[in-house]
Amino acid sequence: MSRDDSHRKLTKKIEQIFNKAGFKTDREVDIEIKENATVKRFNLDVCALYKEVLIIAECKAGTNVKLHDLILEWAEKKRKLEELPVKVITSARKAIKTRSLKEIEKISVLYAAEKYEVTQANYDYAKSERMHIWDAIAIDYFIHTASALGIWTKYEIMKELEVKPDETEEIIKVPAIEIKQPGGKCYLTSIDPCYLLKIAYVYRRSLGGKEAYQRIIKKNRIEEIARFLGRRNSVLSNNVILAFESKVEPDKNELKIPIEYCSAWVVDGQHRLFGFTRTGYYREDKKFGIPVVAFTDLSTIDQARMFIDINNNQKKMDRTLLSDLMTLVKDLREPLTWPSLLVKELNRVGVWKDRIQILEIQKGKPINLYSFARYVLLQRLLKPIYEHGKFQGFSGPLFKYAKFDHKKSIDNPRNKQAFEKQVSLLQTYFGLVARLLGNRWTNFRKYGITKATGVNALLLVLNKILETGKSFRELQIGKFLEPLKKVRLTNESIKRYGRGWDSYLGLANAIIRKLNNENEVKLELYPTRD
């Protein structure tokens, strides 16, 4: 695909997001600005209008993007657009004309970079200039969300792009009962859908790069709930749990709530809430008191902990999201946190770079974060210790190789050193395997070594290698692993080992037999049930 075709495809993709989200949208908008006697023309890839807000999206489909220079250039363009009269010359859809821009009071600039690897420094610099960046993950998320939520997606988009139409200054009053619990206080109340759909949101991207995580809104689930809510005399007994970020003021038996877009994070009940988008109850003239438990003073980390507790301990939760949240909370007293952090770091550089599914929305990856972190890495290589059901620490060979204190922060100097040492060992090991296997490592459509069974089998082999007490240098690890090339690793051959732990152990033993046949140092086989 040519560069122009890639740019055109990305531009249409961004246009579709804004169009489905309820903005008045156009693309390839040529405008003219007159400054003193000078007339300047430039093109806007995508324009999206809502009330007095204009969002301009610049689309960059290539890998060689100079974001710093572009941000600097657009800071000046944005200033001129805000200060000088703008004339629309032409556009692809003829939807946005000169008169459309006359009432604009707020402008936000967005860069959509689909293939460029956006760094945290890029995000920080853009934010310092009051601009924003969507990478490939964000673009995919908003495509999915706009498809599921339609016009209600616009509130989430405006939250992220930090634009506030005048209507966000409205304040509503709702009846409330204060509830005190050991973990703090909360309020029982009810809020009509017309307000709640504006102030509630699910995606945590607005928190910033390192703290961003997301849950998938399932369109089918929303439609199921909408059918229930559409029945005559329907009753919603289960509450929605919200963590408010805006200033909510208790006043006797009431709460004063500002209608600030996406200012209340949905801890639980997102599908129940968004089911109302498919009913008539979202209109202001139709009332349906949605039961709400409102928390008003929780930190981001405390919100994440509550989410984990509700969705993991009280009902089933997506496992990949659970592992991702553990890396946000960074509480090493939770056994899954350390291995999840290790795997997330492996996904950042080396032979695993961008090959592990970290987020629910990501597709086309051979393995997910949970399947990599939860089984052999946690249970054998780290090996948690429990006394009377309470987690006490680790005792596995990877832990012994580089010990850390689970009672202290990941940022503790000793813990940081241990983390880096363990990551280096795993990168070295998998790097050697990848070089030995070549196409069998990269082609997961045909070969299964980078899928759950293959990866956990390789980790079981590493477990036995570490149990020998010999270093990689002593073993001449590159030469030691060479017999791995003789193991059958197609998807079909790996399926014969079964599923789950049986498959991990079966493939690991097959690899160990090959290694033992050609090496002086022998690895112990794993006992199996057959």
pLDDT digits (tens, 9 = 90+) for 57-75: 999 887 887 888 888 888 8
Q: List the beta strands (DSSP E) in 431-486.
A: none
* pLDDT at position 34 over 80: yes
376 or 106, which is more confident: 376
**For residue 204, pLDDT beyond 70:** no
**Residue 81 three-state SS:** helix
3-state SS of 375-431 is: HHHHHHHHCEEEECCEEEEECCHHHHHCCCCCCCCCCCHHHHHHHHHHHHHHHHHHH
DSSP letters along 313-357, please?
A: ISS---HHHHHHHHHHH--TTSTTHHHHHHHHHHTTSGGGTT-EE
User: What gap in Å lies between CA 506 and CA 504, rounded to an integer?
Assistant: 6
Q: Which residue has the higher pLDDT, 151 or 181?
A: 151
* Dist. CA 280–CA 300, nearest whole Å: 33
Structure tokens at 365: 């990856």
Domain 3-160 sits in CATH 3.40.1350.10: yes
The length of the chain is 530
The predicted model gives 317-335 an average pLDDT of 73
SS3 22: coil
Handedness of CA 241, 168, 257, 290 (dihedral sign): negative
Tokens 């629910």 correspond to what residue? Answer: 360
Confidence bin at 513 (pLDDT 50/70/90): very high
- Tell me the average pLDDT across 476-483: 95
Checking if the pLDDT of 262 tops 90, the result is no
Delimit the domains of the chain by residue range: 3-160, 170-302, 318-518
pLDDT attached to residue 305: 67
Distance CA 283, CA 109 (A): 30
* The pLDDT of residue 519 is above 90: yes
CA distance 303 to 244: 10
Q: Where does residue 262 fall: left (phi above 0), alpha (psi -120 to 50 degrees), or beta otherwise?
A: left
Average pLDDT, the chain: 86
Distances from the Cα of 91 to the Cα of 11, 96, 368, angstroms: 13, 7, 42
Helix, strand or coil, per DSSP, at residue 280: helix
Tens of pLDDT along 454-475?
999 999 999 999 999 999 999 9
Task: Show the tokens assigned to 293.
Answer: 């438990």
| Residues 67/133, Cβ–Cβ less than 8 Å | yes
In Å, how far from its chain's centre is CA 311? 17
Closest CA to 354 of 429, 91, 364: 364
Range name among 95-104, 408-417, 518-527 with the lowest pLDDT average: 95-104
How sure is the predictor about 333, in pLDDT bands with cuts at 50, 70 and 90? confident
